[in-house]
Amino acid sequence: MSSSVSVANENGVAVVTIDNPPVNALSFHVRKPLYDALAALRDDPAARAIVIVCAGRTFVAGADITEFGKPIEQPELRAIVALLETIAKPTVAAIHGTALGGGLELALGCHFRVADAGAKLGLPEVKLGLLPGGGGTVRLPRLVGALKALGMIVSGTPISAGEAIAAGLADAVVDSNLLAEAIRFAREMADRGGPFVPVRDRDDRLAETDLAAFDAQAAGLAKKARGLEAPLACAEAVRNAITLPFDEALAAERLLFQKLVSGDQSRAQRHLFFAEREAAKVPGKDLQKRRIERVGIIGAGTMGGGIAMAFANGSLPVTLLETSEEALRRGLATIEKNYAVSVSRGSLTEEAKQQRLGLFKGSTDYADLAGCDLIVEAVFEDMTVKKEVFGKLDAIAKPGAILATNTSYLDVNEIAASTSRPEDVLGMHFFSPANVMKLLEIVRAERTAPEVLATVADLARRIGKVAVVVGVCHGFVGNRMLAARGSENEFLLLEGATPSQVDKALVDFGWPMGPFQMGDLAGLDIGWRNRKARGQTAVIADTLCEQGHFGQKTGRGWYRYESGSREPVTDSEVEALIRAKAAELGIGQREVGADEIIERTLYPLVNEGAKILEEGIAARASDIDVVWVNGYGFPIGKGGPMFWAALEGGPRIVERLEHWHRQTGRPIFEPAPALRRVAETRAWEGAGAR
């Protein structure tokens, strides 16, 4: 036996235990002994039945993602599943935790699946730009039907044990003693006697498929793929399960998998999987994380209310502080309305809504925050106001409480320095709506203690956020790079592009929407206020704001919006305004192509990321990718700006930046030294600060 796979015999039932922390991934050092053990047990008369179970916190959570892109060592998962299906005696998968990907495919190779009540079962490969490559696209439809399988595989969303038994994926669900119950189940099956039909030979659920309905659902899902190949391949593979004999469908799945796994999109999405986990790691040995059991939020406006909901959604009691009873009432009413909308949409039960609302306590007295372990301020974005708040917090917060500012731009060092406890101060930059957006920039000030960072990074996971530790500068990582991405927008318009041409170029690249539509959504007045505060101008946007056109909220901005509609409609008056401004400035008009738009928006984005790396504001290039994919909608199939830049090729980006620098003389196009280094080494690692 090996340390990863062991076999015991429980009165005639063989128990095969997989032990490969942390998630029992099907690494080669698991697959080989597992195959050998099953081959031996197949012919072992002392084993009347076989149970496969996992040690640790979860059943097999998938193939070992770190093995992709390297030569495959035999036996592959497919061979193990094929072997399982030659076993005549009953085989049972005992599932706890998350049976995902190759883990669920292993379980599908068994005759039966017994799941712990808290278990989840799913095929999330699409999130890695893949499809189930161990037979899942051909076996799952045979148990749950093609339409249910299509939804599970294209979404990648796991289902609960209860849903699994209702769908026909699990054969029993137990509340406790999973292994004992699975052994008992296996023994009962052996006593009952066979034959035991392997999943591959079960066609009953497939026979009922309405192919037209399947194709209609698949077409609807394809519309949401937004340039991603994996969702389409998933649907094709499941359709093959319906229309082709098993072995042909299995062979087709293999070909589709091989194409995806070697493609850039899957490499990009696998890069993001590990990048997200790296970004939340805080360097430092044995950091003593602090207990966070009660959170205080100052400010019940849009951000404060959203932040409060984010913590309540993570089951943390929240004290919400406002300056007046009226403001507090308004804030709490908005929170209740938001939860009510979720209930009406079916994404939250009424019971869960009441449970979460029960976690809120309102107050207008700072003294009520004295018991909080973490206090986050989300007051007006003004340094004087922030310092006043932190002065009060310094006076009332208990020793060891973590004090966080939600500022988007202000200097967290300056805020920390205004307290007697700078080591307990940091930034927690949420993105609006804070109860929805995944990204949380954890802003590390100069004196923030490492265990404070580690505590907040851990807390971020608890409330379902994707955390990235960033340094202090204007706009930290995301918003600083956003400014770089948008710095040429008006120049492009003045030279001849229209807002819809710029937006289309970026949407065709894979963004959910372009910068002008995004501006209308967020409100043009926000940028206008920021520009005025910094003494900056934008000839066209400022004019729109002076005319009171702030975007969707006023019905007009870069586009027009029919009442009640969010659909942007080209506004001829805006285009006339752009032409008039260009004429005033003596700027000649010309065709501006999509390639130029990408070069003048996304190459400065990458260049600013390179500067951020050099300055140590981000520890890794992959951290920057995590920020942009989770906070700004950078297409996941391109892996984030820095991963994409490596695909584009540093030399080409440098060459084009130099071209636009010569054309315009604007510093935004001056290639950063780190970018030049990447152009030489083709890798960001080591491109940071020397």
Where on the chain is the footprint of ligand T1G (CB under 6 A)?
22-23, 25, 61-66, 77, 98, 100-102, 105, 124-125, 128, 130, 132-134, 136, 274, 277
| Cβ atoms within 10 Å of 274's Cβ, excluding its own | 12
Give yes or no for a contact between 372 and 294, defined as CB atoms under 8 angstroms apart: yes
Q: Which residue, 280 or 318, has its beta carbon nearer to ligand T1G? A: 280
Out of 10, 73, 85, 125, which one is annotated catalytic? 125
Give the span between the Cα atoms of 330 and 320, in whole angstroms.
Answer: 12
Residue 523 phi/psi, 5-degree rounding, is 110, 115
Least distance CB 57 / ligand T1G (angstroms):
7
Least distance CB 415 / ligand T1G (angstroms):
31
Output the CA–CA distances (angstroms, integers) from residue 55 to 14, 42, 232, 346, 527, in the order listed: 15, 22, 35, 36, 53
Give the span between the Cα atoms of 675 and 670, in whole angstroms.
Answer: 10
Q: Which residue, 65 or 117, has its beta carbon nearer to ligand T1G? A: 65
Residue type, 183: I
Q: Which residue, 98 or 319, has its beta carbon nearer to ligand T1G? A: 98
Output the CA–CA distances (angstroms, integers) from residue 4 to 38, 82, 115, 396, in the order listed: 14, 21, 22, 53
Residue with tokens 């709506």: 433
Output the CA–CA distances (angstroms, integers) from residue 526 to 473, 488, 529, in the order listed: 20, 18, 5
Q: Which residue, 23 or 506, has its beta carbon nearer to ligand T1G? A: 23
Output the CA–CA distances (angstroms, integers) from residue 252 to 106, 133, 667, in the order listed: 19, 10, 52
126 closest CA partner among 160, 153, 158, 159: 153
Q: Which residue, 265 or 601, has its beta carbon nearer to ligand T1G? A: 265
Torsion of CA 351, 356, 358, 362, to 10 degrees: -150
Least distance CB 75 / ligand T1G (angstroms):
13
Residue 586 phi/psi, 5-degree rounding, is 70, 30
Which SS3 state, helix, strand or coil, does residue 174 take?
A: strand
Q: Which residue, 125 or 648, has its beta carbon nearer to ligand T1G? A: 125
Least distance CB 2 / ligand T1G (angstroms):
18
Say whether the peptide bond before residue 33 is cis (omega within 30 degrees of 0).
no
Residue 307 phi/psi, 5-degree rounding, is -65, -45
Please give the structure tokens belonging to residue 501.
Answer: 């041409």
Least distance CB 244 / ligand T1G (angstroms):
19
Give the span between the Cα atoms of 515 and 507, in whole angstroms.
Answer: 10
| Residue positions counted in the chain | 690
Least distance CB 162 / ligand T1G (angstroms):
19
Output the CA–CA distances (angstroms, integers) from residue 551 to 181, 354, 518, 529, 532, in the order listed: 60, 35, 9, 15, 18
671 closest CA partner among 638, 647, 645, 690: 645
Q: Which residue, 375 or 621, has its beta carbon nearer to ligand T1G? A: 621
Edge to edge, the sheet with strand 112-116 lists 5-10, 13-18, 49-54, 91-95, 112-116, 172-174
Give the span between the Cα atoms of 37 and 566, in whole angstroms.
Answer: 59
Least distance CB 502 / ligand T1G (angstroms):
36
Output the CA torsion sign for 300, 303, 304, 309.
positive
Give the span between the Cα atoms of 654 and 676, in whole angstroms.
Answer: 7
Out of 10, 67, 73, 105, which one is annotated catalytic? 105
Least distance CB 187 / ligand T1G (angstroms):
30
Least distance CB 36 / ligand T1G (angstroms):
20
Q: Which residue, 413 or 455, has its beta carbon nearer to ligand T1G? A: 455
Give yes or no for a contact between 105 and 81, defined as CB atoms under 8 angstroms apart: yes
> How far is it between the farthest Cα atoms of the chain?
92
Least distance CB 671 / ligand T1G (angstroms):
33
Active site residue 125: yes
Output the CA torsion sign for 537, 543, 548, 552.
negative
Least distance CB 493 / ligand T1G (angstroms):
42
Q: Please identify every residue annotated as catalytic.
A: 105, 125
